[in-house]
Amino acid sequence: MLNKKLLRAFYMLVYILLISFIVSGLSNLYGYLNTGADRSRLMLAEVKETDQYIPGMKWDTMQNVGRYLDKESLSAIQEDFVDALYTKHVAYKLNTKRGVDTYFTKSSKKNIYEIIDYNKKNNVRTDETTLTHNIDVHLFSEDGILIAFKDKDVHEYKRIYQNDSLVLETEELVDYEFVMMLEDGFWRIRHMVKQNAKDFHFEPPTHNAKLDIKGINYYPKEHPWNMYGANFDKDAINTDFKILANAGLNTLRVFVPYNTFGRANVYEEILDQLVEMMDIAQKHNLKVIVTLFDFYGNYDVYDWTLNQRHVEIIAGKLKEHPALLAWDIKNEPDLDMPTRGTKTVTAWLKNMIRFIKMIDPNTPVTIGWSNAEAAKILKDQVDFVSFHFYIDLNLFEETYLKLKKEVGDKQVVVGEFGLSSYDGFWYLNGNDENDQANYHKTIQEYFKKYDLGFASWTMYDFKEVPNAVLGWKPWLKNLQKRYGFIDEKGNKKPAFKYIVN
C-alpha cells in the first residue's frame, strides 16, 4: 500500500512538472509576442490601421511660390508622405515590393526595386528609420496635384545586415529633395533625391552634482504594478508618502507603464494622475525618480518614433515639476538583451537618453540596470550609474568597489535592493522578518560607509503579484510578496527600523 502511495505521489509530481513546463513555455511565447513580435510584418496588411511611425515633422510654407497650401491639403500630403517612408523602411527590412506602388510612382519605385533585388541576391537587409523632418515647401501647384519640397536635416538611423550579421551602423543628418503627385487619391512620391549628408552628433549635457538619494521604490499596497486609472487612490498615496517622509526618506522611485499610459498617444487623464502623485510628493518634501517604459520590451527601430512621442509628452509635462529629481530610462533593460540583442537594446537606450536630454537638459538621467556588471554599459551617457542588488549581501562591498573602479567619478546609486521575509511552503529554509531586518541593518552600514544613494524594494508586502511581473510560478510570486517594510495588515516589520541610515 505504501509503495502505491509513493508511486501515486511520484506520478503527481511528474504531472505537475510537465504542466509547469508547458504553461511556462506558453507564457514566455505570449510575452515575446506581446512585447516584441516583428510588427513590421504586420504593417503591410494595412499601413493606415494604427499609428506605427510618427516622426517629428515641421513644415515651412513661407517659401511656397504656388497656390496657398491649406491645412486639409497639408494634412493629406503629410499622411501619405509618412506612410510612403514607412513602407520603404519595411520594404528594405523584408526585401518585399509589396505596397511600394501605392506610395511611389513608376519612376521613383524603380530605384527601390533595384535595391530590393540587390539585397535579396546578396542576403542583405536594412533596419532603418527617420526621426525628424524639417520641410521647406517650394511649390504647391495651382491645380493642387503636385508639391515640391526640400526635407532638411532628416535624422536618419540605419543598420545594415548581411547574412544576419551587422556590417554597418550609421546615424546621419541628410537633406532630400522631393516631388509628390496626387494620383488615384494617393499622394505618391515621384522624385526623391538624396543630397547632403553628415554624421549626426549630439553631445548631451551632463550633471556632475551629487544627488542626495535616500529612497524607496513605491507601489501602493492595494494595487502594486497597476496603480493608475480606476485604481488611482490619492488618499492612500498621501498617507503612504507621509509615512515615508516621517521615516527619514527623501526620494521615491516610481514607474510609468508604457501601455497603460497610452504609448505614443499618452492618455491625458493618466498623465494627470502622475502629476498629482508628484504634487503629493512635493507636499511631503519628497523627490521623485521617474522610471519610463515599464513593461516595454521591443526596442525595434520601427518603434523609435512612437517611443519618442511618448517621452516628448511625459517629459514635456513633468520637466518643470519641482519634485522631479531624475529620469530612469528603463528598468532592467539588460534582462531583455538575450532575446532582443545587446546592440539593439543599447542603441535604443542611447537614442532615448539623447532624446530626453534634448527635451529636458536640466534633469539628470540614469538607467536601472539589474546588476552591477551591466551597469558599465553606457556609463558615459548617464549622469549617475544605477544598479540593483539582490545577490548575497556578503558580496556587496566587492561588487560596489569593482563597479566604482569602472565608472570613476560618476556617482553610483543602488536603485533596488531588499530581502524577502517569505519562509513558507516554497522556501522552507527561507528568511524570516528578523533576517530581513538584519539584512537592511547591514546594507545601510555599507551605504553610510561609502556615502551611497539608495532606493529599497519596497514599502509594502503585497497580497497579490500580477502574472505580468513574474509569470504564474508560485515560488517566485510568494517570495515577491514579502519584500516590504510594512506587512499586509499595515504593521511595521522589524526591518522598518533600518529603512534609512
Per-residue pLDDT tens over the stretch 361-417: 999 999 999 999 999 999 999 999 999 999 999 999 999 999 999 999 999 999 999
Percent of the chain scored above 90 by pLDDT? Answer: 84
Write down the pLDDT at residue 290. 99
pLDDT of 6 over the 60 cut = no
Residues in the chain: 501
Q: Residues of 405-432 as b/e, b for ≥16 C-beta within 10 angstroms? A: eebeebbbbbbbbbbbbbbeeeeeebbe
Compute how many other C-beta atoms are within 10 angstroms of the C-beta atom of residue 299. Answer: 27
* C-alpha to C-alpha distance for 309 and 23, rounded to whole angstroms: 36
* C-alpha to C-alpha distance for 264 and 307, rounded to whole angstroms: 6
Instruction: Cell numbers for 225, please give them.
Output: 504594478
Write down the pLDDT at residue 102. 95
Write down the pLDDT at residue 19. 46
Residue 240 burial (10 A CB sphere; 0-12, 13-18, 19+) = buried
What amino acid is encoded at 431 in this protein?
N
**Separate counts of helices (H) and strands (E) for the chain:** 14, 13
Q: What are phi and psi of 355, to 5 degrees?
A: -65, -45
User: C-alpha dihedral over 391, 397, 398, 402, to 10 degrees?
Assistant: 110
Class of domain 53-199: alpha beta
Write down the pLDDT at residue 48. 54
The hierarchical CATH code for the domain 214-498 is 3.20.20.80
Q: Which residue has the cell 507603464?
A: 257
pLDDT of 35 over the 80 cut = no
* C-alpha to C-alpha distance for 149 and 60, rounded to whole angstroms: 10
Strands 214-217 vs 251-257: parallel, antiparallel or unpaired = parallel
Write down the pLDDT at residue 472. 86
* C-alpha to C-alpha distance for 476 and 474, rounded to whole angstroms: 5
Residue 337 Cα distances to 111, 199, 369, angstroms: 36, 27, 12
Whether residue 436 contacts residue 408, with contact meaning beta carbons closer than 8 Å, is answered with no
* C-alpha to C-alpha distance for 91 and 99, rounded to whole angstroms: 8
3 state SS of 20:
helix
Does the reported pTM lie above 0.85? yes
Conformational region of residue 231, where left means phi above 0, alpha means psi within -120 to 50, and beta covers everything else: alpha
Taking only the tens place, the pLDDT of each residue in 306-358 is 999 999 999 999 999 999 999 999 999 999 999 999 999 999 999 999 999 99
